[in-house]
Amino acid sequence: MTDLQKILAISGYPGLFRHLSQGRNGVIVESMLDGKRMNAGGSMRVTPLSDVSIYTNTEELPLRDALIKIKEKLNGAAAIDHKSDPAGLQKFFEEILPDYDRERFYPSHMKKVVEWYNLLQKNNLLDFEKEEEKKEEESPNPPA
């Protein structure tokens, strides 16, 4: 099961990173693009994918839920190329998330979501923990 808390996006760096361990001056991460390791220092903007949401007309949809919808729609196959033209990306998201907020969810955001989906798909990381399972694991005392 993939824990999106341990999959990171780092501002200014392409792709996604796996959190390996806590370092002295930041976190040790491994690139999912080339496998290289680096220290993501305190001055870098590091965002766990579990903290990312997509704007819809009614709410903010957690990225996890959007990735699940993409996976279901594509039967686990790879998505369109993230370098597709903006019209192609918009058409893709209209099929996946018809209620996405056209004012606040830009083609640049769509590009990142598609790139991340394809990276996770390539690395067989699209089986996510259910929120209930994660809460049960964190709870020290099971309900009586």
Question: What's the pLDDT tens digit per position in 112-142?
Answer: 999 999 999 999 999 876 654 444 455 455 4
- Predicted confidence at residue 132, as pLDDT, reads 46
Q: What is the pLDDT of residue 1?
A: 85
Residue type, 144: A
Q: What is the CATH number of domain 52-122?
A: 1.10.10.1650
Give pLDDT, residue 141. 52
**Widest CA span of the chain, in angstroms?**
54
pLDDT digits (tens, 9 = 90+) for 20-79: 999 888 899 999 999 999 999 888 999 999 999 999 999 999 999 999 999 999 999 999
Q: How far is residue 125 from each of residues 3, 129, 141, measured CA to CA in Å?
A: 9, 11, 29
pTM for this one?
0.85
Query: In DSSP terms, which residues pair with 2 in a beta bridge?
Result: 128
* 12's tokens: 């200014």
Nearest to 64 by CA among 118, 109, 131: 131
Domain with CATH 2.30.30 in the chain: 4-49
For domain 4-49, give its CATH number from 1.10.3470, 3.90.320, 2.30.30, 3.40.50: 2.30.30
